A and B are shown apart, each in its own frame.
Chain A
Amino acid sequence: MAQIINKKICLLGEYGAGKTSMIRRFVFDLFSDDYITTIGVKVTEKVLPPIERENKLQQFRFMIWDIAGSEEGKIKHENYWMGASGALIVTDLCRPKTFSCTSSLIEKFLALNNNPPIVIVGNKTDLIPLTELNSLETTLQEMAHTYRCPALLTSAKTGQQVEESFIRLAQCMME
């Protein structure tokens, strides 16, 4: 049996990007979402399926800190970033204007935590017309290239690529 390793990871991104929606159906949950508005964070748990890498089987228990989003680039709640082994950075594909705020968020997070692995996701694909999707993905891939991390397109509504994003983060942690 694979040995379970516990990791704290953060869900970061502008307000309304879909962080809470992404994990809602996917994690083990004990507390009400009210905590996100009152203290700015809620912790949930996800034990990922075992991952094999170079003949090694590894299983992660992610303690997911869903942190209230920032508004117009004003970063807050950095004290909740402490001790994180990684982060899922959630951007809203419907608001490409917020991408630059996301970049500064990423830079601050990496600096504060000694460059842990991150995964960027462009969320709400279900709302984007196919004709626009390509250029948005290109923008996102450029951002991912800057930070040398993967980027994925997700939909919290349909569940598309949600679990995959977390697995990608786990894989990055094994490298």
Chain B
Amino acid sequence: MSKNRDLINVTNDQAFEQLKALLLSDDWKNFSEIRDQVESLAKEVHDKDQLIEMLDPIIADLLDRKIHESRSEMAEALAPIMGDAIKRQIEDAKEDMVDALYPIIGRMVTKAINEAMKKLIEEINSRIQQAANTRFMIFVKSKVFKIQPAEVVLADGVLFCLEELFLIEKKSGLLIGYQSQNNDQSEKNAHILGGMLTAIRQFVNDAFAKDEKSNLIEIQHEDHNIRIDTARYTVLAAVYRGISPHDFQDNLHGLHHRIHNRYYRRLRDFKGETSEFQGVSPVMKRLFQKYRHHGSNNK
């Protein structure tokens, strides 16, 4: 009996399995596939490297699209982070940064200097063309010393040419004394030039000077320069071309100091009477005599 029951049971189980297989075989296959997938996904999510590999192309695409859509917003958002990151990088690896930048900056500086030198040499060569009477001497010297004509000019300071001197009352800008290299009619303009120079000087001092003592020293315009020496009551301005000799500033200051000392009282009480300063011009003339041999166009 029990054997029979067993038999029945067995056949029942078999039948059930058979039925199951018959009914669910497709689902079963799907299920095991899904289980495999879930397992591998779980593994991928837990494994950082694999996760990155998986998301990488998506995020890249997403970023790409976002950046295209709102470039400026992205830049705004990233700028502080990038800034910090770069700052930290530089802090951490100063030496490395210097090593990396050195060749680039070095090249830039060299290029700038080369260009400036080239311009200077060109300028000098064109001056030599103009100054026909000094040309012969330069030619001789360059042959004797076996150097380029331009270098002779540099060495001689021929480039320098003192053109005008203005002695100006500091507050009013009124002209007290004037000398020019070639006593031409440029004196006609000297009063206005003195006034405008004073206005510009006051403008610069007012706009940029940090303290009362600082003063505008030099104005450059193309190849003209104006060197300004300031004393208590007056300003002495020298208009020149080219590169000033090393002692020029000192000599200008010395001249100004002498005039200022000699005329101190009259300057203090100055009311526009320039006739009291007729002795100033000959003194100013001496500076021109001193630098006469520097000028390329003293005929």
B174 touches A30 (CB 8 A): no
Main secondary structure of the interface of A (DSSP, over half): strand
B174 partner residues in chain A, CB cutoff 8 A = 6-8, 63, 83
B274 CB, nearest partner CB in chain A, Å:
6
Which B residues from 175 to 215 make CB contacts under 8 A with A?
A: 175, 189, 191-193, 195-196, 198-200, 202-203, 206
A123 CB, nearest partner CB in chain B, Å:
23
Residue of chain B at shortest CB distance from A38:
B203
B203 touches A8 (CB 8 A): no
Contact of B192 among A5, A39, A43, A82 (CB under 8 A): A43
B169 touches A31 (CB 8 A): no
Which A residues from 34 to 89 make CB contacts under 8 A with B?
A: 35, 39-45, 61, 63, 65, 79-80, 82-85
Residue of chain B at shortest CB distance from A9:
B172
B250 interfacial contact with A, CB 8 Å: no
A7 touches B203 (CB 8 A): no
Contact of B171 among A5, A6, A83 (CB under 8 A): A83
Assembly CA distance A30 to B272 (angstroms)? 21
B92 interfacial contact with A, CB 8 Å: no
A124 CB, nearest partner CB in chain B, Å:
27
Number of A-B contacts (CB under 8 A): 72
Residue of chain B at shortest CB distance from A63:
B195
A28 interfacial contact with B, CB 8 Å: yes
B171 partner residues in chain A, CB cutoff 8 A = 82-83
Question: What number of B residues sit within 8 Å (CB to CB) of A?
Answer: 24
A61 partner residues in chain B, CB cutoff 8 A = 191
A6 touches B175 (CB 8 A): yes
Given A8-B174, A41-B199, A43-B173; A79-B206 close (CB under 8 Å): yes
B203 partner residues in chain A, CB cutoff 8 A = 39-41
Assembly CA distance A5 to B271 (angstroms)? 8
Given A5-B273, A39-B200, A80-B199; A44-B192 close (CB under 8 Å): yes
Residue of chain B at shortest CB distance from A29:
B192
Assembly CA distance A175 to B299 (angstroms)? 50
Task: Please indicate which of the listed interface residues B169, B170, B192, B273 has the most CB atoms of chain A within 10 Å of its own CB.
Answer: B192
A30 touches B199 (CB 8 A): no
Assembly CA distance A80 to B206 (angstroms)? 10
Q: Residues 92-117 of chain B: 1 if any A CB is under 8 Å from the residue's CB, otherwise 0?
A: 00000000000000000000000000
Contact of A85 among B173, B195, B271 (CB under 8 A): B271
B196 CB, nearest partner CB in chain A, Å:
5
B173 touches A83 (CB 8 A): yes
B272 CB, nearest partner CB in chain A, Å:
4
Assembly CA distance A45 to B198 (angstroms)? 14
B72 interfacial contact with A, CB 8 Å: no
B4 interfacial contact with A, CB 8 Å: no
Contact of B193 among A6, A29, A30 (CB under 8 A): A30
Residue of chain B at shortest CB distance from A4:
B274
Residue of chain A at shortest CB distance from B207:
A39
Assembly CA distance A39 to B198 (angstroms)? 12
B170 partner residues in chain A, CB cutoff 8 A = 83
B261 interfacial contact with A, CB 8 Å: no
A135 interfacial contact with B, CB 8 Å: no
Which A residues from 87 to 116 make CB contacts under 8 A with B?
A: none
B32 interfacial contact with A, CB 8 Å: no
B206 partner residues in chain A, CB cutoff 8 A = 79
A147 CB, nearest partner CB in chain B, Å:
22
Using a CB–CB cutoff of 8 Å, the interface residues on chain B facing chain A are 169-175, 189, 191-193, 195-196, 198-200, 202-203, 206, 271-275
Q: 16 A-B Cβ contacts within 8 A?
A: A5-B273, A6-B174, A6-B191, A7-B174, A8-B174, A30-B192, A30-B196, A35-B196, A39-B200, A41-B199, A42-B196, A79-B202, A79-B206, A80-B199, A83-B169, A85-B272
Additional pairs, 9, CB under 8 Å, beyond known A43-B195, A61-B191, A84-B172: A5-B274, A6-B175, A8-B174, A8-B272, A30-B193, A45-B192, A65-B199, A79-B202, A80-B199
